[in-house]
Amino acid sequence: MGWAGVAWRDAEYELAVVDGASVSGRTFGGGEIGQLVEALHGCAGVVVDSTSGVLDGHLTAAGLAVFRADPWLLPDRPSFGSAAALALARRGAAGDLPRLTVASGALVGRHEEYASQVARCGPVERELAGRFLARGAVPGTAALTFDDGPDPRFTPQVLDILREHGVRASFFCVGINATAHPDLVARIAAEGHLVGNHTWSHPYLPDLTRDELLRQVDATNAALSTATGGAGDLVRPPYGGRTPDVLRWLAGHGMTTVLWDVDAGDWAAPGVATIADRVTGAVGDGSVVLLHDGGGDRTQTVAALPGILRTLLDRAYTFVTVDHYRSR
């Protein structure tokens, strides 16, 4: 098979494959990522754009050769969608795109840009203190957060472990996943956990216009509200990607940006012991811990979680949801 491009439109994924002069395509529902992955096996390469972070972790975990095409290499996007699947496939066939792996993550080749953008945010983060949170200030507490779900394979396992240990956590859900699995979002809320906004398609926010960003947030809030009866005002930027403009746009829209101070790095599948050690070795009073219940193979996260909970409970930590830190 030739080169494939995978796009998202609203709550669906579009696949186009270019093989010489032949072009073929299919559409998949938001809950059909497994079927999409199966359809991609045998392709020379799979191309996504920087608005499609909801996909690359699944594709790389399946052993596919995945590449990212950045906005300056592609035609204009629609207001609520990625670059077209056919344009992505053709750009992949042209070559010279960064390859994504489980270990590298989605931002390979853009880390210096990312670091520069984040460095410029310090003054704005202080300016928006009431609309920006990276750590709490309550002794003896910590907040576990889970990103990129809900996922029908891993979210129920995470919820079962949390319930077994009597721990509440915060789940930052991707809108397209929440629309596909509203029952899981409802379960998260019903079991006393916080449900937050992780955008619709997990894009790199600095690549979006203000209107594109706010539409991502609003669509996700609508999906969360449908599942739970209401949506809050907490949003987590994918990858923590931000600029001063992004932070101001979110705050001006009534949203509070939530980051973290402890990153387990579980998205890179470094091993169960490494994930556990990174969390238990770094947590302090008021820490916000970043973990994942979706976006790829989270088997290691699930395996590490009981040990993390036992260790921190033995140290007399109380687990809180991140909103506990907002007024303190």
Q: How far is CA 124 from CA 37, 39, 114, 119, 209, in A?
A: 40, 44, 16, 10, 19
Query: Domain ranges in the chain?
Result: 3-109, 113-325
User: How would CATH label the architecture of 3-109?
Assistant: 2-Layer Sandwich (3.30)
pLDDT at 258 (0 to 100): 98
181 catalytically annotated:
no
Question: Residue 95, by phi and psi: left (phi above 0), alpha (psi -120 to 50) or beta?
Answer: left
pLDDT tens, the chain, 328 aa long: 899 999 999 999 999 999 987 788 999 999 999 999 999 999 999 999 999 999 999 999 999 999 999 999 999 999 899 999 999 999 999 999 999 999 999 999 999 999 999 999 999 999 998 899 999 999 999 999 999 999 999 999 999 999 999 999 999 999 999 999 999 999 999 999 999 999 999 999 999 999 999 999 999 999 999 999 999 999 999 999 999 999 999 999 999 999 999 999 999 999 999 999 999 999 999 999 999 999 999 999 999 999 999 999 999 999 999 999 985 5
The whole-angstrom separation of Cα 179 and Cα 37 is 19
DSSP string, 280-298: HTT--TTEEEEEESSSS--
DSSP string, 232-288: -SEE--GGG---HHHHHHHHHTT-EEE--SEE--GGG---HHHHHHHHHTT--TTEE
pLDDT at 129 (0 to 100): 84
132-133 and 99-100 strand pairing? unpaired
Same fold, 3-109 and 113-325: no
CB atoms within 10 A of CB 9: 15
Q: How many residues does the chain have?
A: 328
Q: What share of the chain is helix, strand, coil (3-state, %, to 5)?
A: 45, 20, 35
Q: 48 and 89 in contact (C-beta within 8 Å)?
A: no
147 catalytically annotated:
yes
The CATH superfamily label for domain 113-325 reads: Glycoside hydrolase/deacetylase (3.20.20.370)
CA angle 12, 14, 18 (to 5 degrees): 175
The whole-angstrom separation of Cα 177 and Cα 194 is 16
**Which of 292, 293, 297, 324 is an active site residue?**
292
pLDDT at 229 (0 to 100): 95
**Which of 49, 56, 147, 148 is an active site residue?**
147
Would you state the structure tokens that stand for residue 270, as one six-digit string? Answer: 């470094």
